[in-house]
Copies of this chain bind each other. A is one copy, B any other.
Amino acid sequence: MKAQALIDALRKDGERITVLRRAIVQCLVNASEPMTAVALIAVLKKMNLQPSPPSVYRELKFLTEKKMTRTLQFEERNRRYELVPADHRHHLICTECKGIEDVVVHHDLDVVEKNLEQQKKFKVKRHALEFYGVCNKCQ
């Protein structure tokens, strides 16, 4: 199981494995879309954990520093968190149901970035690309 592998990796790094840490990793592995901290807290409550918000935020920060998760900011108030995906992902965001779908799209942005570096002298480190629209179900 993926969650166990992540936990093992943390343990190997000498990090403590607490109940909350294990549960949060498990939630993120199960999540079908990048989660907000608020949603994560709700799920954890259903698992009979009563985590305080600060603990959850600190844990997410910890995992992000460990480069195990990353943060995303869409056009909404809350920050979202997801496990760092192996491949280069972008997102489809439904403006109706607010659902988020991951996609791997084939694009020419590498070329675009090279041009930007030459023409604008801007050193591109990464890019964010989101598509907003209406998902299959909501049409």
Contact = CB atoms under 8 A, between A and B. Distances in A.
Interface of A: 71-76, 92, 94-95, 101, 103, 105-109, 112-113, 115-116, 120-136, 139
24 contacts: A73-B75, A75-B128, A92-B120, A92-B122, A92-B124, A105-B112, A106-B112, A107-B108, A108-B108, A113-B131, A120-B136, A121-B136, A122-B133, A122-B134, A122-B136, A123-B133, A123-B134, A123-B135, A125-B133, A126-B132, A126-B133, A128-B129, A128-B130, A129-B129
Given A73-B75, A107-B109, A112-B106, A101 B122 contact: yes
**Most chain B CB atoms below 10 A, which of A113, A116, A123:** A123
Given A73-B76, A105-B112, A116-B92, A131 B122 contact: yes
Contacts of A101: 120, 122
Given A74-B73, A92-B116, A122-B101, A132 B128 contact: yes
